[in-house]
Amino acid sequence: MTDTTSQLEGATIELETADQSAWPAATWFAVLSMAATSFALVSAEFLPAGLLTPMARDLGISEGTAGQVVTATASVGAVTALLSNVLIGRLNRKAVLVGLSALAVGSNILAALATDFWLLLLGRAGLGIALSGFWALSVAVVARLVGANATGRGMSIVTLGVSLATIAAPSMGALISDWLGWRSAMAMTAGLAAIAMLLQALSLPTLPASTSNSLADVFRLTRRRGIQLGMLAILLLMTGHFAGSVYVRPFLEQVTLLDTRSIALALLGFGIASVIGNVAGGRMADASIAVALAVTAVLMAFAALVLVLAGAHAGIAFALVALWGFAFGMAPVVLPTNLSRGAPDALEAAGSLMVVSFQVAISIGAVFGGYIVDHYGAIGPLTLTAALAASTVVLALLQPRS
């Protein structure tokens, strides 16, 4: 056992009440290794957004077909999330996390070397398994690293990798693709995953399985009111977000009448605000999860609604897109923390349900948003976002004050 591991395990009890600034160096190192992993995995997930054209041209397929590599990752992730708790059994969770990072390395290499669409799809499916397994374990592992009372702040650091990857991955992928080709961009994500794997191996303490769940155990959790409310909150808020956020650019083009450079600045503001919201969400979630959920939903509903009503004004549109980004930055911290409060004795099983809820919400949001924008224009999806986020506010009022 390493010195880092010994220090971290010895500090576990103290962390239940310790402030974030009082975390020992070993804890910071372990949590940051989880953040590095989230950055590596989500970068690989979003990378194809900037690579579709050269990827499709090289493999001799349409851009629409190439876009299915993203769908494959999400679909496989949704299925394996339910099975992950069963498959890992009583394996040491550190070994599982390092193994998932190794799978991401191999999957990204396979995608980079793919000579046809089916090999590319296989590589992306492997990434989906790594993603779902990591996120299914994330809340439980972070709670063990920093203590239950600081789970929100710990998750805010881990999900900071998501915010940074969301901002950087598409543009970074497009830049590297133009310079060295799309395969080099894919290979870069394998390198990121390898670095994350090394950091996990060096920093995570040994994490013996605290429980072993069957598929029946996972489904049994859905009978708990806290889990039901937590899953419904994810489904409502994230369906709303992904139904509308994909069409923010068309809205800014058609309603606000911004040029390409101005739209890029607005989306950059969204990304920067999401990083700030990520940090704020962690602190608020630890103080009161019900208030944190309500604030997240209120801000998103307000931003989307006022965009619909007054988004023709450029200054208002810029401010509201940033506000939406702030709310979205809070969501990946607040929503999993909220769900975990419904099953503090079964965090890993709850993590599986969390991943499934997110993946289903992403899929439903994409379908609904696409249908509405085709029939009602760019304002339609944002109206749906406002309605579903407002519904989440009502749901937050049913949460126990904690």
- Summarised one tens digit per residue, pLDDT across range 137-168 is 998 999 999 987 888 889 999 999 988 887 78
pLDDT at 271 (0 to 100): 87
Tell me the helix, strand and coil percentages in the chain, rounded to 5. 85, 0, 15
Give residue for tokens 């997930």. 45
Give residue for tokens 């605000």. 273
Q: Assign a CATH topology to domain 3-203.
A: Growth Hormone; Chain: A; (1.20.1250)
Return d(Cα 352, Cα 78) in angstroms, integer. 9
The closest alpha carbon to 159, from 324, 23, 41, 298, belongs to 41
CATH number of the 215-397 domain: 1.20.1250.20
The closest alpha carbon to 77, from 297, 306, 356, 316, belongs to 356
Mean pLDDT score, 35-60? 86
CA max distance for the chain: 61
Residues across the chain: 402
Residue 5 neighbours by CB distance under 10 Å = 18
Least confident of 32-41, 47-56, 283-292: 47-56
pLDDT-derived band at 215 (thresholds 50, 70, 90) equals: confident
Question: Residue 181 carries which side chain, given as an amino acid letter?
Answer: G
Least confident of 88-102, 129-143, 366-380: 366-380
For residue 300, pLDDT beyond 80 = yes
- For CATH 1.20.1250.20, the residue range(s) in the chain are 3-203, 215-397
For residue 3, pLDDT beyond 50 = no
pLDDT at 218 (0 to 100): 86
Half-sphere exposure of 313 (CA within 13 A, CB side): 8
Q: Convert the pLDDT of each residue in 21-33 to its tens digit.
A: 578 999 999 999 9
- Percent of residues, the chain, with pLDDT higher than 70: 92
Burial 308-339 (b: 16+ CB within 10 A, else e): beebeeeeebbbbbbbbbbbbbbbbbbbbbbb
pLDDT-derived band at 6 (thresholds 50, 70, 90) equals: very low
**What is the CA angle 391-292-22, rounded to 5?**
160
For residue 228, pLDDT beyond 90 = yes
Mean pLDDT score, 210-229? 86
Least confident of 27-31, 35-39, 187-191, 362-366: 362-366
